[in-house]
């Protein structure tokens, strides 16, 4: 999943080998995007289940915003000088020349939606969560893709240090449920209000002016556009310079300091360990006050599995009423990688209970309603409905690792019976057709059935 894909769409006229397979497939996914194959879907399903459960418990409701928005939504909110807007957006024109962008992050769209649907009239705070793909034109590498899934949430309409602590507690509990919390370290900072940040930006400019030759090209641009971002630099010389740069603590207002202390106090009361990280500013312009990230203990900033912060001025940037907000987003691919490294196993519900093998058209006629009834009663059933000798069908059943097979040949059709074969021990028994489903269920065990009624509240 993490390997760089250099083979782009090869020549579609590639020749087939003797058994009809194409040695080098003519089409592959574009660089930086991936198929999610069934095995990884087990992880996605598991993560989604935990996320939904935790969010529901805390009163969050799910929202989905469109895959693309007017480009201006991101330019205004995320900020023109940020990496995301200046380099990483998938922007295109529609047929009428309007500029649209595949969403690179979730917060801007949700704030746009809050304003558009008058959510300020809903009971506050409005708590929303999402699980969606996002798109950034980044250089693909391990944990960095061009399409990636994020779970995220926003709490809109109220500002309080307790809400910030809650916005950290929720992902903390989710990481705990996912079995990776011990591999992560919470980094936290307070980046103050706009006034103190403006003063600090000026002080940073004064400090770096005259030292430009030590800065990377990228950091030189940051110096003009958003000097706070230099503190995030991974460039070695810049990192050395950063050690003696003015500290934000000299500029932060007493109000922000008190706010920060209050958040930290709540975290301590909740038993959540944190690392104070003055260099954490996050890549987006809209943050103010609390910012936080969950880093891999060993890889640090290179492997942030989630992050968020407060953004009290964002709604106004998008033309809405002054509305405080705090949000969080985690990268699902990175979480899965972290779970795999940590050897977390997830349940797979794709395993089959029964394979139905048949011979002949008459048998097929009996098979279809039988398979339907098995499934209706919660037995995960697959059948070899194509042509093929029973022996071949049993080989297929073996490859699907089913515990039981039901075999129906001409004799069974004539006698109104079926053979139930235990694939583990290799024994088999002939039973009356009308008893087949009950017998199969008895062997599988009622508690293992995959039964749900769409009209009943689902467990998912
Ligand atoms: P951000 O708001 O940019 O910090 O993104 C939130 C989380 O999304 C990060 O902590 C990562 O886990 C994940 N993420 C961000 N960009 C990517 C990417 N290009 N590929 C995979 N995951 C990403």
Nearest CA to ligand 1 atom 21: 144
Given this model, what pLDDT does residue 460 score? Answer: 46
CA 329 to ligand 1: nearest atom:
6
Given this model, what pLDDT does residue 81 score? Answer: 73
Rounded Cα gap, residues 143 and 175, in angstroms: 17
Q: Who has greater pLDDT, 99 or 459?
A: 99
Residue 7 reports pLDDT greater than 70: no
Nearest CA to ligand 1 atom 22: 331
CB 128 within 8 A of CB 156: yes
Residue 239 reports pLDDT greater than 60: yes
Nearest CA to ligand 1 atom 10: 306
Nearest CA to ligand 1 atom 17: 144
Q: Which pLDDT band, with edges at 50, 70 and 90, does 195 fall under?
A: confident
Residue 357 reports pLDDT greater than 90: yes
Residue 459 reports pLDDT greater than 80: no
Given this model, what pLDDT does residue 18 score? Answer: 57
Residue 202 reports pLDDT greater than 60: yes
Q: Which pLDDT band, with edges at 50, 70 and 90, does 77 fall under?
A: confident
- Which whole number is the average pLDDT over 168-188? 97
- Which whole number is the average pLDDT over 15-40? 81
- Which whole number is the average pLDDT over 149-159? 97
Residue 38 reports pLDDT greater than 60: yes
Q: Quick one: three-class SS letters along 327-345? A: EEEEEHHHHHHHHHHCCCC
Q: How far is the CA of 52 from the centre of ligand 1 (A)?
A: 20
Given this model, what pLDDT does residue 19 score? Answer: 59
Max CA separation in the chain (angstroms): 95
CA 283 to ligand 1: nearest atom:
3
Instruction: Output the ligand 1 site: residues, CB below 6 A.
Output: 105, 136, 138, 143-145, 148, 150, 283, 304-307, 329-331, 333-334
Q: How far is the CA of 281 from the centre of ligand 1 (A)?
A: 15
Given this model, what pLDDT does residue 347 score? Answer: 87
Read off the tokens for 15. 């020749």
Given this model, what pLDDT does residue 40 score? Answer: 93
- Which whole number is the average pLDDT over 252-281? 94
**Residue 131 CB neighbour total at 10 angstroms:** 18
Q: Which pLDDT band, with edges at 50, 70 and 90, does 225 fall under?
A: confident
Residue 258 reports pLDDT greater than 60: yes
Read off the tokens for 161. 């240090």
- Which whole number is the average pLDDT over 75-99? 90
Given this model, what pLDDT does residue 14 score? Answer: 44
In the block, residue with structure tokens 């749900």: 452
Q: Where are the alpha helices (DSSP H) in 105-253?
A: 107-116, 161-177, 194-208, 217-225, 236-243
Residue positions counted in the chain? 460
Q: Which of 219, 199, 197 is nearest to 209 (CA)?
A: 219
Q: Who has greater pLDDT, 130 or 252?
A: 130
The angle, 0 to 180 degrees and rounded to 10, between the axes of the packed helices 332-341 and 38-57 is 110
Q: Which pLDDT band, with edges at 50, 70 and 90, does 455 fall under?
A: low
Nearest CA to ligand 1 atom 1: 307
Q: Which pLDDT band, with edges at 50, 70 and 90, does 168 fall under?
A: very high
CA 143 to ligand 1: nearest atom:
21
- Which whole number is the average pLDDT over 8-33? 66
DSSP, residue by residue, 179-205: T-GGGEEEEEEE---HHHHHHHHHHHH
Given this model, what pLDDT does residue 4 score? Answer: 38
SS3 296: strand
Nearest CA to ligand 1 atom 20: 144
Q: Which of 98, 128, 90 is nearest to 111 (CA)?
A: 128
CB 443 within 8 A of CB 431: no
Given this model, what pLDDT does residue 83 score? Answer: 81
Residue 10 reports pLDDT greater than 50: no
Which of 2, 149, 150 is the best mutation target for the ligand 1 pocket, counting ligand atoms within 8 Å of the beta carbon and taking the most?
A: 150
CA 105 to ligand 1: nearest atom:
2
CB 292 within 8 A of CB 308: yes
Q: How far is the CA of 103 from the centre of ligand 1 (A)?
A: 13
Q: Which pLDDT band, with edges at 50, 70 and 90, does 198 fall under?
A: confident
Residue 253 reports pLDDT greater than 80: yes
CB burial string 12-42: b at 16+ within 10 A, e below: eeeeeeeeeeeeeeeeeeeebebeeeeebeb
CB burial string 428-453: b at 16+ within 10 A, e below: eeebeeeebbebbbebbeeeeeeeee
Which of 89, 304, 327 is the best mutation target for the ligand 1 pocket, counting ligand atoms within 8 Å of the beta carbon and taking the most?
A: 304
CA 282 to ligand 1: nearest atom:
4
Specify the range with the lowest mean pLDDT, choosing from 209-213, 302-306, 410-414, 454-458: 454-458
Residue 341 reports pLDDT greater than 60: yes
CB 103 within 8 A of CB 134: yes
Nearest CA to ligand 1 atom 23: 331
CA 146 to ligand 1: nearest atom:
19
Q: How far is the CA of 338 from the centre of ligand 1 (A)?
A: 14
- Which whole number is the average pLDDT over 77-88? 84
Given this model, what pLDDT does residue 384 score? Answer: 81
What pLDDT, in 10s, does the model give residues 93-126? Answer: 999 999 999 999 999 999 999 999 999 999 999 9
Specify the range with the lowest mean pLDDT, choosing from 179-183, 184-188, 198-202: 198-202
Q: Which of 148, 128, 135, 115 is nearest to 63 (CA)?
A: 128
Residue 450 reports pLDDT greater than 70: yes
């Amino acid at each position: 999943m993490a390997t760089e894909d250099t083979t782009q769409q090869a020549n579609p006229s590639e020749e087939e080998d003797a058994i009809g397979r194409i040695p080098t497939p003519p089409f592959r996914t574009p660089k930086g995007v991936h198929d999610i194959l069934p095995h990884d879907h087990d992880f996605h399903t598991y993560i989604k289940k935990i996320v939904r459960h935790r969010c529901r418990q805390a009163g969050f409701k799910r929202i989905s915003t469109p895959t693309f928005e007017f480009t201006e939504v991101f330019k205004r909110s995320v900020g023109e000088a940020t990496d995301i807007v200046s380099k990483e957006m998938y922007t295109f024109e529609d047929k009428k020349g309007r500029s649209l962008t595949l969403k690179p992050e979730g917060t801007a769209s949700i704030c746009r939606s809050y304003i558009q649907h008058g959510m300020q009239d809903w009971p506050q705070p409005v708590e929303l969560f999402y699980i969606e793909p996002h798109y950034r034109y980044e250089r693909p590498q391990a944990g960095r893709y061009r399409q990636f899934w994020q779970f995220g949430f926003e709490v809109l309409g109220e500002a309080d240090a307790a809400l910030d602590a809650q916005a950290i507690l929720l992902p903390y509990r989710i990481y705990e449920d996912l079995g990776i919390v011990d591999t992560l370290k919470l980094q936290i900072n307070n980046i103050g209000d706009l006034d103190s940040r403006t003063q600090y930006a000026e002080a940073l400019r004064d400090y770096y002016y005259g030292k430009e030759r030590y800065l990377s090209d990228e950091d030189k641009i940051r110096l003009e556009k958003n000097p706070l971002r230099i503190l995030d630099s991974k460039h070695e010389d810049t990192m050395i310079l950063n050690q003696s740069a003015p500290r934000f603590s000299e500029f932060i207002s007493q109000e922000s300091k008190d706010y920060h202390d209050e958040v930290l106090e709540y975290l301590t009361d909740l038993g959540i360990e944190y690392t104070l990280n003055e260099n954490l500013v996050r890549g987006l312009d809209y943050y103010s006050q609390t910012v936080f990230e969950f880093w891999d203990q060993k890889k640090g900033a290179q492997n942030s599995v989630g992050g968020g912060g407060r953004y009290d001025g964002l709604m106004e940037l998008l033309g809405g009423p002054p509305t405080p907000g705090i949000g969080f987003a985690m990268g699902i691919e990175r979480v899965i990688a972290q779970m795999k490294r940590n050897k977390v196993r997830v349940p797979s519900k794709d395993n089959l209970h029964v394979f139905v093998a048949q011979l002949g058209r008459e048998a097929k006629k009996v098979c279809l309603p039988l398979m339907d009834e098995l499934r209706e009663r919660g037995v995960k059933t697959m059948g070899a409905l194509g042509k093929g000798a029973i022996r071949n069908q049993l080989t297929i059943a073996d490859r699907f690792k089913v515990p039981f097979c039901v075999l129906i040949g001409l004799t069974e059709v004539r006698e109104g019976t079926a053979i139930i074969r235990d694939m583990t021990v290799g024994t088999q028994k002939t039973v009356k057709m009308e008893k087949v489903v009950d017998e199969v269920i008895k062997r599988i065990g009622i508690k293992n059935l995959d039964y749900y009624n769409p009209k009943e509240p689902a467990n998912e």
